[in-house]
Amino acid sequence: MADTAEGAPRRRGRNETEEERADRMWQELIQRSAWPRLGVQILFGFLLTVVFTEKYDDLTDTDQTIYLVTVVLGACATGALIGPVSPAPPRLRRRVKPQAVRLASRLTLLGLVLLLATTTASLLLILRVATHDGFVPYLVAGVVGWYLLCWFVLPLWTRHRHTSR
């Protein structure tokens, strides 16, 4: 921040203190991460049930390995996406909200990357079991490309294009 003629710091963007900005960013982060949290919980819950079906025993060793990796990724994604909201009240009362927002934002991004990996592995497993065709890796790669475009590339491009320098 640059100083004004009077010596007071000049604010960029919104006219808010660091604490007000942290409050706003916290609320935005919680709202934006609600759907991914719900989605990963549903996906993880579904994954946990697969091992108890009769079809699981018929899976090849490779498919069982893909399943186990998918479950672990789902568990990690769930932890990363739920982590920022679970211990919020105690740490926010300790006047560390700006730092808590940064940490929560990083955990949310990590959670989205893990959700991408979980969804990719789930899709790979389902398509391998459903089709046994050689085009499965290409189809999965196309879907991953779509996710990357929608979740990361377009938001970053929009941010870059529409923010002032």
* Mean pLDDT, rounded, for 22-44: 85
Whole-number pLDDT of residue 5: 47
Confidence band for 147, pLDDT divided at 50, 70 and 90: very high
CA distance 89 to 36: 21
pLDDT band at 12 (very low <50, low <70, confident <90, very high): low
Rounded CA gap, 137 and 126, in Å?
12
Measured distance CA(124)–CA(164) in Å, rounded: 41
Q: Please say if the pLDDT value at position 65 is more than 90.
A: yes
Pick the range with the lowest mean pLDDT from 85-89, 131-135, 143-147.
Answer: 85-89
Supply the angle between the helices 18-32 and 34-50 in degrees, to the nearest 10. 40
Q: What is the pLDDT of residue 136?
A: 95
Which whole number is the average pLDDT over 25-30? 84
Mean predicted confidence (pLDDT) in 126-139: 92
pLDDT at 1 over 50: no
Predicted model pTM? 0.78
pLDDT at 10 over 90: no
CA 155/CA 9 separation, integer angstroms: 30
pLDDT of residue 110: 94
Which stretch of 81-90, 110-119, 150-159 has the lowest confidence by average pLDDT? 81-90
Among 48-62, 79-93, 121-135, the minimum mean pLDDT is found in 79-93
Count of H helices and E strands in the chain? 8, 0
